[in-house]
Amino acid sequence: MSVEKEKLYSKLSDAVVDMDEDSVAVLSDQVIKEDIDAYEAIDQGLAKGMERAGQLFEEEEYFVPELLMCSDAMNVGIDILKPHIRKEESSQKHKIVIGVIEGDTHDIGKNLVKLMLSSADFEVIDLGRDVPVNTFVNRAVEEQAKIIMISSLMTTTMDRMGDVVQLLKEKGIREQYKVAIGGGPVSLAFANKIGADGYSANATEAVRLAKQLVVKES
C-alpha cells in the first residue's frame, strides 16, 4: 500500500476517534477525488477508527455519548464513500437480527451493539425496541439470519428472552440459529439458564461474540 494512501486511512481513522464529522467529510471527498479504493478506505480508515473508539469505550476513556458521536462521524464517511464501492468487493455479509425484548424500551445498549456490529461488517437487521417474541423468530426466518441478538435492560422483561429460545425449539428450528443476549441485568449464568448460545457484557464484546458464533456456524 502506498504511503499516501496509508496516511489518508489513518487520518480518517483519527477523525472518527476525534468525533470530527467535518474532517471525515473532507477526507472522504479526498478519497474519491484521488480515486482511492472506497471499500478499503471504509475498512481500513473509518471502521478502524470505530474499532479504536470501541477500545477506548472498553477502557472507560470513552462513554456512550462519545461512542455515538464517533459513530455519527463514521456514518458521514460511509454515506460519501458507499456509492463508490465497486460491486465485486461487497462480499456476502453475515446477517444478524437484533432487538430489545417486549416490554422494554431501553435501547441504548442495543443501539451501541448494532453500530459496532455494522462497523465490523455484519449486516444488522434492527427490529427496534419492545419487540414481541414472535417477531424475533419470524424475522430471523424471513431474513435468513443466522444470529438473533436480544437485549433487555430490565429484570422485569428478561424472562421473555428465554421465550425466544423456547419458540425456536417449538418450531423445531432451534439448531439453525444462534441466540445471543445482553443487557444490564443479564449475565452469562442467565444466558446458560435460558439456553442461549452466548452472552456479551458490552458492545465491543458483542462483536467478538458474533464472530465466534459465525465461525461455529460455518
Span interacting with another protein, options 25-33, 68-76, 134-142, 143-151, rule CB under 8 A: 68-76
In the chain, the amino acid numbered 113 is V
Instruction: Give the helix ranges, DSSP H, for the chain.
Output: 3-17, 21-33, 38-41, 47-58, 64-81, 108-119, 133-143, 159-170, 188-194, 203-217
In terms of CB distance, is 145 or 163 closer to another protein? 163
Contact letters for another protein, residues 108-147 (x by CB under 8 A): x--x------------------x-----------------
Binding range to another protein, per CB under 8 A, among 32-40, 74-82, 98-106, 135-143: 98-106
- Cα within 13 Å of Cα(208), Cβ side: 11
Q: Shortest Cβ distance from residue 115 to another protein (Å)?
A: 10
Find out whether 204 and 58 touch, Cβ atoms under 8 Å.
Answer: yes
Residue 188 within binding range of another protein, rule CB under 8 A: no
Contact 99, 182 (CB under 8 A): no
**Among residues 3, 65, 87, 88, which is the contact residue for another protein, using CB under 8 A?**
65
> Which of 156, 188, 192, 217 contacts another protein by CB under 8 A?
156
- Cβ(97)–Cβ(147) below 8 Å: yes
Query: Least distance to another protein from the beta carbon of 26, Å?
Result: 19
Task: Determine, following the binding rule CB under 8 A, whether residue 60 of this chain makes contact with another protein.
Answer: yes
Q: Does 68 bind another protein (CB under 8 A)?
A: yes
Give the separation between CA 185 and CA 187, rounded to whole angstroms: 7
Q: Which backbone phi and psi does 150 adopt, to 5 degrees?
A: -125, 135
104 belongs to the binding site for another protein (CB under 8 A): yes
Q: Segment contacting another protein (CB under 8 A): 22-30, 42-50, 182-190, 210-218?
A: 182-190
